[in-house]
Amino acid sequence: MSNPIALIGRAGTYLLLSLAAFVSIFPFFWMVVGASNTSADIIRGKGTPGGALWDNIVKFVNSFDMVRVLFNSFLLAGLGTVLTLLVASMAGYGFEMFRSRFREKVFGGLLLMLSIPFAALMIPLFMLMAQLKIINTYQAVLLPSIASIFIIFYFRQATKAFPSELRDAAKIDGLKEWQIFLYVYMPVMRSTYAAATIIVFMANWNSYLWPLIVLQTNEMKTLTLAVATLAAGYTPDFGVIMVGAIAATLPTLIIFFLLQRRFVEGMLGAVK
């Protein structure tokens, strides 16, 4: 017979995991159900699907230039992700592979900058962008986020597991440093790149405060900003807002599920 104490412990574990799963899934469930109901139904707390889904979708699409908004979002998120991964991985590679007596001091200074809240940087950054005359442009959104200190730190820590023998062998074969990085390092660290892609893409896609400050016309707004404007009126249509929330959530879910296996490997520091 099984130990009663072990059975109780196992049942408690499953109960806690089930509760955690419910708490995690319920907001998405409520969002999907809300998208099919009218605003009045949502205010009353109706928890079952309704028949207003198509009407809410039509209202959402007609609220702004959907093609332009999606183009802005995918361009900023996609290009920002590629540039961030490139810059951060090069920096992480350099910090780990090249020796210098000032290396740790510089790296420590970068990590110290993580303690500075973004609210303290907004005004100086905005003044800098204004002086460069790039307010209300894609460059103004992308430039401050490309050199992500956290992603640099992540790549440096992951690079510690990179076999130094591969680099030495590549040098013996006559490869230059940029060729080693491009043809040896990047393929070997693909799990790390996959995990970082999810993190950076989600951050860029969901970015709200900085784009809100520097993007000043409707033609430049992203999907996140567009959805936020739906709730800015005196009588917001919560059904339409729920549709917008689903539209803003789906791309990040798709990216995560496509790279899920690589994400786990990358977070565990796997090198193949």
Secondary structure class of 176 (helix, strand, coil): coil
- Residues 6 or more apart whose Cβ sits within 8 Å of residue 93: 155, 156, 159, 181, 185
Please give the sequence-ordered ranges of beta strands (E in DSSP) within the chain, or none if there are none: none
Sequential pLDDT tens for the chain (272 residues) = 457 777 887 888 889 989 998 898 888 888 989 999 988 888 888 888 888 889 999 999 888 888 899 999 999 999 999 999 999 999 999 999 888 888 889 999 988 998 888 888 899 999 999 999 999 999 999 999 898 999 999 999 989 888 888 888 988 888 898 899 999 999 988 888 988 999 999 999 999 999 999 998 888 999 999 888 887 767 788 889 999 989 999 998 888 888 877 766 666 654 55
Radius of gyration of the chain (CA): 23
Diameter of the chain measured on Cα atoms: 76
Domain 64-271 CATH class label: mainly alpha
Q: pTM value?
A: 0.86
Task: Calculate what percentage of the chain has a pLDDT beyond 70.
Answer: 95
> Whole-angstrom Cα distance, residue 137 to residue 129?
10
pLDDT for 132-175, tens place per residue? 999 999 999 999 989 899 999 999 998 988 888 888 898 888 88
